[in-house]
Amino acid sequence: MKGLGELERSIMDVLWAEGGPLTAREVGRLIADRDLAPTTVMTVLDRLTRKGFLTRVRDGRAWRYEPAASRDAYIAELMLEALDMTGDRSAALTRFAQAVSGTEADVLRKALTELEEE
């Protein structure tokens, strides 16, 4: 999975936050910190669709876009890709586990226990 550029990330943030499909016009309105041309928003939405980050369905003459996966799934994929870049996955995982907070360690422990019980 490829990373996202700055504008792509802003658009994905809007779509992840909304929780439902949006048109390009609606996305453009919700990106408050930028003055983007509607064609720019449409181009980026089309690019994100081709990359597999978004799905789209026709709504009259417009398309409605929504994330193909949750933000959590995207972040988890990035973490797994980073893990693949190391020559020693065990060392990287150990280092990661040592760096998380106590609460985060509890979350990891719970998730691992649930996996073992399946």
pLDDT at 38: 87
Residue 1 lies in a domain: no
CA angle 63, 75, 6 (to 5 degrees): 60
Contact between 14 and 22 under an 8 Å Cβ cutoff? The reply is yes
pLDDT at 2: 67
Record the tokens describing residue 27, joined without a space.
């996305």
The pTM of the whole model exceeds 0.85:
no
Q: Is 61 in the same domain as 94? A: no
pLDDT at 118: 85
CATH number for the domain spanning 61: value is 1.10.10.10
Rounded mean pLDDT for each run of 10 residues along the chain, 118 residues in total: 84 94 94 83 96 96 96 92 90 92 94 92
Q: Is 39 in the same domain as 12? A: yes
pLDDT at 34: 75
Residue identified by tokens 């994100």 is 48
Q: Is 11 in the same domain as 63? A: yes
How does DSSP assign 5-24, residue by residue?
-HHHHHHHHHHHHH-S-B-H
Domain of residue 17, residue span: 6-67
